[in-house]
Each structure stands twice: as C-alpha cells, then as structure tokens.
Amino acid sequence: MDSFGFEVAETARLVRREANRRFAALGTTGAQWRVLARLNLSDGARQVDLAEALDVEPITLCRMVDRLEETGLVERRKDADDRRAWRIHLTAQAAPVIEELERIGRDFNAELLDGIAEADRSVARRVLDQVRRNVERAARPLETVA
C-alpha cells in the first residue's frame, strides 16, 4: 500500500507488540506501563483526567488501575475536593519497577533507531510532529469542514 497513514500505523503496531513483549518480562503490559509513566509525571492525577490523557475510556483505565493496585504499584485515594472522584498515586513499590521499565524503554529505543543518522531522526520527528498537527487540524468538528 502506498499510504503514509498505513505505514505509520503498521510501524506503530509492530513497535507496540515488541514493547508489550519486553514489558511482559516485568509482569506489566504496555498499557499499564503508559499508566505508570504518566503517573510518574503527574502522581496523584484524577482518574478521569488520567483516562483522558491516555486516550482511553474511563472504564478501561479503571481495569488497568485495578490490576496495578493488585500488584501494589498504585493506590487510589479519595479526592479531597470532590468526594466522587479518585486520585491515583504511585506507591514506593513502583519506583524500582518504573526504573526498570525506563531502562527497557531506553534500550528498546536505541535498538529501534540503530543505524539511523541523527539528522534523519530529526527529520522524522519534524515530519511526525507536522502530521500530528495536521490530524488535529483535520479533526475539527464536522460542521466546520464544509
């Protein structure tokens, strides 16, 4: 297929599959790793905000958090400002797991980019950044497209 979108999607699928295989060695999935990584940036995020940031349905995130909570890596705490809401926090037990997941991610990233010159990497980043901006622009409400 001569489609840029297909090439990007197929590459992302293969990268995701291999990342999941590697993360499984630590008993986590790629999706769970994304939750841990996001919490590592903003520990104590509200569950609904975390779902939005990860672009998953709240019920999907709820299941992921359930599994991470069962393994002792995260805990839910009531939101002090909204008794209906939960905030998700990393536990002390999560720190070494996140450190190892980051190491796996760095090693995998190095393998992905092996043999690709820094100049080509920069071009690829710029192209993908522009594609994301184009997608965001194209995703405006349908009534404004006409």
Query: Once rounded to an integer, what is the mean pLDDT over residues 63-74?
Result: 95
Whether the CA torsion 134, 140, 142, 145 is positive or negative: it is negative
Domains held by the chain: number: 1
**Is 9 within the bounds of a domain?**
yes
**Is 28 within the bounds of a domain?**
yes
- Model confidence, pTM: 0.75
φ and ψ of 87, to 5 deg: -110, 140
Give the 3-state secondary structure of residue 73: coil
| Structural domain boundaries enclosing 59 | 4-114
**Is 24 within the bounds of a domain?**
yes
**Is 146 within the bounds of a domain?**
no
Looking at residue 143, its pLDDT comes to 56
**Is 59 within the bounds of a domain?**
yes
pLDDT at 128 over 90: yes
